[in-house]
Structure formats: structure tokens, C-alpha cells
């Protein structure tokens, strides 16, 4: 008799667990479908607060709300469940070539946080609202929030800012050697480049920089893998001291960079670059490499964290190659 009761209890527990699992799957699917649908409907509107902030919040809200109104969950589930549909949506968009890895890497951190915030809000609302009517109205209102924000946010939040990023490195070589390695940069081998997170998310490696003539008015052509090419016109030429130039993106193949981070595009552009050399003691030359870039979005406060980090990493890679070459030349 006892064994039958235990089997019945086990069967009941298994049924409850199965029901809970399917409920969580259903909530995740609701969030997944919503996230992908918003991306497809938004089109160019993904570079908006409505998509960047409101979409992950609404996705997390819907996923948890659907589950919580059927079966109470713990706070940990409110926080974690939204990550499942969000991650699935991001991977799906990447595999379908809707978004590039670069954009996904930039979007994921803030999206995961906001999805969890939305999940907590969804759990609290599901517990507070008792009638199906009130729950349905709430779900509908939250689902359309991104579309309510997108039409008007541009004139209010869109700004263009100029950012400057500088990297500094000390090289054990005289300024004459360093200058030869910055005015022109011969082809860079892959094994000369340091480990870099920007390379990991899809930014192309630098290849070389040529120079048409020495002095102001000379034109450098800085090429990167994937066919990316920048034309740099020298406007400051002080041998062994300062080299500065304006930058224009001349060739940016579509397959090289995602449209939302395309250099020279609507949202981002690189404007200037400058090398400054300081002569220190003991045969050391300190090299400052700085650049200016334009950022034009509705959320520059977040985007600038990434553009500054990307530019700093790219400059760090170039300076690393220059130091290796200069110190090798100085020791040979």
C-alpha cells in the first residue's frame, strides 16, 4: 500500500515538474517570437532607444508574465528566464545574417540587464493583477511600448558628439627609428598582432599604411583586411615629433562591417588621427596615438563606451606592432 502511495506521489511530482517545464518553455517561446518580430518590424529602427532599451525590457516582461500568472516562480527565475529567449533571438539573428557579431556583442550586456528588469516587473505585475482582462491589457500595453517610443525619440534624444581616444606607449628606440615606422607601415603579418577582443568580434586586422609623399598634403592609404580602406591626408608634418591627418573612409565593403557600425555611416565615422613623439631618457621614445571619431545615435551615453573601447583597442594593436618593429630594428 505504501509503495503504491509513493509511486502515485512520484508520478504526481513528475507531472507537476513536466507541466512547469513546458510552462517555462512556453514563456521562453513567447519572448523569442516577440524579440524576433520586433527586430524584423523595426528595420533601421534598431538604432533607437525603443529597440535598445524598451525591447529587451518588454521581452523579459512578457516571458515571465506568461509563466507567473499560471504558476508562481521564485525571484531567481524572474531574473534568469528572460535570458533564454533573448539569447536565442540574438543567436538566431546572427545565424540568419540579420545582425553581425559586432552589433550583438555591443547590444548583449545592456539587453541582458534590461530583460531581467523586465522579468521582475512582469512577475510583480502577474501577482498583482488578478483578472484575465487586466492581465491582457497589461500585456498589450507593454508589448507596444517600443513602437510608442520609436516615432518621437529621434528629435528629443538624437545627438552628434565628437569623441577623442588616446593611447600611449614607451618604445626603447630613438625617435628617428620610430618615425620611420609610423610615417609608413609596411605589411603587417598576423603573428605580429597581439591578442585582441575586437578581432574576436569581427573587426578586421590592419594590413599596411602607404604614403604618397612626405610633408603636408601627403596621402596615406591605410588598408585593413576585408577590403576596408581609409584615405588619410597629412595636415601636420614635424619629423620625429608630430604626424597628423584627416581620415576618410574610402572603401567599406558591406561584408566587412555591420551596417550599424560602418565607418562613414549614419552612426559612426573616424575623423582624425595623430602621432606625437616625446624623447625620454635612456633612449626611450614615448608615442601618443590619438584619434577623433563621430558618434550619432539616440543613446550616445551607451554607444560611446563601445566606440571608445574599440578605437583604443585598435590603436593599442597598431602601437604594439610599431614597438616590436622599432625595438627589433634598434637591437639589430
At residue 263, the pLDDT reads 82
Virtual torsion, Cα 323, 326, 328, 331, nearest 10 deg: -120
The residue ranking higher by pLDDT, 66 or 217, is 217
* Domains of the chain in sequence order: 2-155 (no CATH), 159-331 (3.30.530.20)
Q: Is the predicted pLDDT of residue 121 greater than 70, yes or no?
A: yes
pLDDT of 4 above 70:
no
> Smallest Cα–Cα separation from 213: which of 191, 189, 240, 232?
232
Contact at 8 Å (CB) between 143 and 63?
no
What the block records as the C-alpha cell of 220 is 596615406
- Position 9 confidence tier, pLDDT thresholds 50, 70, 90: very low
- Judge contact between 163 and 293, C-beta under 8 A: yes
Instruction: Read off the pTM.
Output: 0.85
28 pLDDT above the threshold of 80: no
Q: What is the pLDDT of residue 330?
A: 63
Residue pair 289/315 in contact by the 8 Å Cβ criterion = yes
Judged against a pLDDT cut of 90, whether residue 120 lies above it is answered with: yes
With 60 as the cut, is the pLDDT of residue 2 above it? no
Phi, then psi, of 108 in degrees rounded to 5:
-55, -45
Cα dist from 103 to 106, 184, 223, 228, whole Å: 5, 32, 22, 18
Average pLDDT across the chain, whole number: 86
Q: Give the pLDDT score at 124.
A: 93
pLDDT tens-digit series, residues 241-287:
999 999 998 888 776 666 777 888 889 999 999 999 999 988 899 99
User: For residue range 31-83, what is the model confidence (pLDDT) as tens digits?
Assistant: 677 777 777 776 666 788 988 999 999 989 988 998 888 788 889 889 988 89
Closest CA to 66 of 129, 108, 15: 129
User: What are residue 292's phi and psi, to 5 degrees?
Assistant: -115, 140
- Angle at which helix 175-183 crosses helix 300-331, to 10 degrees, equals 120
- Predicted pLDDT at 36: 74
**SS3 state of residue 162:** strand
**pLDDT for res 90:** 85
Average pLDDT (113-138) is 90
Burial of 44 (0-12, 13-18, 19+ CB in 10 A): exposed
Amino acid at each position: 500500500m505504501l509503495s503504491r502511495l509513493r509511486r502515485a506521489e512520484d508520478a504526481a511530482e513528475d507531472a507537476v515538474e513536466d507541466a512547469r517545464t513546458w510552462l517555462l518553455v512556453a514563456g521562453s517561446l513567447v519572448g523569442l517570437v516577440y524579440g524576433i518580430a520586433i527586430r524584423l518590424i523595426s528595420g533601421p529602427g534598431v538604432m533607437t532607444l525603443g529597440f535598445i532599451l524598451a525591447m529587451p525590457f518588454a521581452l523579459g516582461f512578457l516571458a515571465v508574465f506568461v509563466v507567473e500568472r499560471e504558476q508562481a516562480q521564485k525571484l531567481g527565475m524572474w531574473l534568469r528566464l528572460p535570458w533564454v529567449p533573448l539569447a536565442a533571438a540574438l543567436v538566431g539573428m546572427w545565424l540568419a545574417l540579420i545582425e553581425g557579431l559586432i552589433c550583438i556583442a555591443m547590444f548583449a550586456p545592456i539587453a541582458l540587464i534590461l530583460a531581467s528588469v523586465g522579468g521582475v516587473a512582469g512577475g510583480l505585475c502577474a501577482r498583482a493583477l488578478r483578472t484575465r482582462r487586466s492581465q491582457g491589457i497589461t500585456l498589450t500595453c507593454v508589448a507596444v511600448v517600443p513602437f510608442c517610443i520609436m516615432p518621437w525619440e529621434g528629435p528629443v534624444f538624437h545627438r552628434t558628439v565628437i569623441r577623442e581616444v588616446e593611447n600611449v606607449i614607451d618604445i626603447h628606440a630613438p625617435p628617428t627609428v620610430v618615425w620611420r615606422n609610423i610615417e609608413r607601415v609596411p605589411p603587417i603579418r598576423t603573428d605580429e598582432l597581439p591578442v585582441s577582443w575586437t578581432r574576436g568580434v569581427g573587426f578586421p586586422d590592419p594590413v599596411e599604411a602607404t604614403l604618397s609623399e612626405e610633408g603636408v598634403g601627403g596621402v596615406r592609404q591605410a588598408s585593413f583586411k576585408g577590403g576596408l580602406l581609409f584615405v588619410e591626408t597629412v595636415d601636420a608634418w614635424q619629423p620625429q615629433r608630430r604626424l597628423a591627418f584627416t581620415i576618410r573612409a574610402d572603401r567599406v565593403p558591406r561584408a566587412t562591417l555591420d551596417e550599424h557600425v560602418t565607418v562613414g555611416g549614419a552612426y559612426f565615422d573616424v575623423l582624425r588621427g595623430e602621432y606625437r613623439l616625446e624623447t625620454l631618457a635612456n633612449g626611450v621614445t614615448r608615442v601618443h596615438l590619438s584619434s577623433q571619431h563621430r558618434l550619432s545615435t539616440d543613446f550616445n551615453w551607451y554607444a560611446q563606451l563601445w566606440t571608445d573601447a574599440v578605437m583604443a583597442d585598435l590603436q593599442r594593436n597598431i602601437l604594439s606592432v610599431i614597438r616590436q618593429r622599432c625595438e627589433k630594428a634598434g637591437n639589430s
